[in-house]
A and B are shown apart, each in its own frame.
Chain A
Amino acid sequence: MIRVEKIYKNFGDLEVLKDVSVHFERGITNLIIGRSGAGKTVLLKILIGLITPSSGEVYYEDTNFYSLDKKQVRKLRMEVGMLFQSSALFDSLTIDENIRFPLDMFTKLTTKEKTDRVNYCLERVNLEGVNKKYPAEVSGGMQKRVGIARAIVMKPKYLFCDEPNSGLDPKTSITVDKLIQEITQENNITTIVNTHDMNSVMEIGEKIILLQDGILAWEGSKSDVLVRGNDMIQNFIFASPFLQRLKDKALKNEND
């Protein structure tokens, strides 16, 4: 579990996050949603320590992240996996070397053990046999899955995903979403996904946090959106007239 307490973040005069307190649970997919500029990426980067908050605390279980020294932070980060929006795969390395990279850096596994682990991770994301290819030689959706494989290769306790569906077609998005959800449940890890994709929200949103202008505006699950969602979350998720009509129809059918 990750707990955030009273986080504030300012960039000069601009207040990006205001008094955000929330906890992200283990074994489920936690989604951070919100409009562009709402503070989602800043919150995610604060959670993983790439940006320091102006004030507030972040707890990994009972450990205060911002009270750790550099060595302890590095140790904790070995329990963290991250899927970047751009996948952030190293261009000069093959897919195999990309996934193997953290194993080479931090483990004392034998070459065979590393190969087995890499192959297991590739199998888990349904990408067997692409070991020798370079990131530029595979599609965007495959790069995302390689990113997931690299994120889970060290068996992390915490998985962060920044816009995992950006640039992907709807079908591939669902595949990536399902993969993230399955990995979360199989390994009982704390997963936090930062997304714009409303399909993801309604598919895998076991816990949803809506940020609006840097403030935590709503918190609930996908099933809560229709039942106890306020106007803010409903207008955000069902933003298009098409989705609005679908929602009205669904509610009408339910009432009938």
Chain B
Amino acid sequence: MIERFIYDFGRYILLLGQSFGGPRKTKTYFKEIVRHMHDIGIGSLVIVALISLFIGAVTAVQFAYQLGGTLIPRYYIGYIVRDMTIIELAPTITCLVLAGKVGSNIASEIGGMRQKEHIDAMEIMGVNTASYLILPRMIAGLTMIPLLVFMAASISIAGAYLASVPMGFFSGDEFVKGLGMFYDPYNVFMMFVKSVVFAFIVITIPAYQGYFVKGGSIELGNASTAAVVFSNIFILLSDYIIALILTS
């Protein structure tokens, strides 16, 4: 198992190296980048918005319940929701969802191209297939996923307000007061660092799984599953490492 991991890790690194190589035709790549930006960004808007809205709502309601009857002021809920969302929930949950939606799509798309000999056809034309298939997705992902995470954080906070204030858990003023308390821009920086690292994982691990797929539809399904599972594992692992590094 360790041997297999080392083999896969080495091949993954080599593939990444190859994906930064030439030859490249800027115009052709630009078209691909725009297409993937649309697929990743616009294509994930609804699901990310929905999940963020409910995460914010549930977080606010849960904390209102937890802090009820304690001496902690209620406006602290706004502060807790803000920091939990920015530091952890928005980047991590959004990227776990995107690993399922975008990651499985990338693995299936590239794997399907491998099975239908499209990648062989490009290789024979002289195309650097790793670069053509992975680099535009990487650029699109590294641009769009942090934006989605930022949007998720905003919607999540709005969701917290909408779920709590009209229900009478606390007043709008209290919530806004809490949101403005102890604000540290470094947390937003941390959110963007996480989202960039997670975006890299969400794009490259599924691309690797799809690029080297062998066999038929069962193997393609397995590659897609592996893409999601490994992306999730590495997102959580890197979340922990980033938290250690950036908060120490």
Contact = CB atoms under 8 A, between A and B. Distances in A.
Interface string B119-133: 011011111100000
B38 interface: no
B27 interface: yes
Interface in A113-147: none
A80 B128 CA distance: 15
Size bracket of the B interface = 10 to 19
A80 B27 CA distance: 23
Contacts of B128: 74
B4 interface: no
Contacts of A50: 120, 123-124
Nearest to A106: B126
A77 B125 CA distance: 6
A90 interface: yes
Interface in A78-100: 78, 80, 82, 84-86, 88, 90-91
Interface string B170-184: 000000000000000
Interface in A192-221: none
Given A74-B126, A82-B124, A90-B118, 15 more contacts: A50-B120, A50-B124, A80-B124, A82-B121, A86-B116, A88-B117, A102-B125, A102-B126, A104-B25, A104-B27, A104-B28, A105-B28, A105-B127, A106-B126, A154-B125
A154 B23 CA distance: 17
Contacts of B125: 77-78, 101-102, 105-106, 154
A106 B23 contact: yes
A105 B126 CA distance: 9
Interface string B143-173: 0000000000000000000000000000000
B121 A88 contact: yes
A75 interface: yes
B124 A48 contact: yes
Contacts of A78: 125-126
A77 B123 CA distance: 8
B126 A75 contact: yes
Contacts of A85: 117
Interface string A65-79: 000000000110110
18 contacts: A48-B124, A74-B126, A77-B124, A77-B125, A77-B126, A82-B121, A84-B121, A86-B117, A88-B116, A88-B117, A88-B118, A88-B121, A90-B118, A91-B116, A104-B25, A104-B27, A105-B25, A105-B127
A75 B124 CA distance: 10
Interface string A142-179: 00000000000010000010000000000000000000
Contacts of B28: 104-105
B126 A88 contact: no
B32 to A, nearest CB: 11
Sort A-B residue pairs by CB-CB distance and give the 9 closest, nearest first: A77-B126, A88-B121, A88-B117, A74-B126, A82-B124, A78-B126, A102-B125, A84-B117, A104-B28
Nearest to B120: A50
A33 to B, nearest CB: 21
A84 B118 CA distance: 9
A80 B123 CA distance: 11
Contacts of B118: 88, 90
Interface string A30-54: 0000000000000000001010000
B44 to A, nearest CB: 19
A89 B28 CA distance: 17
A90 B126 CA distance: 16
Contacts of A102: 125-126
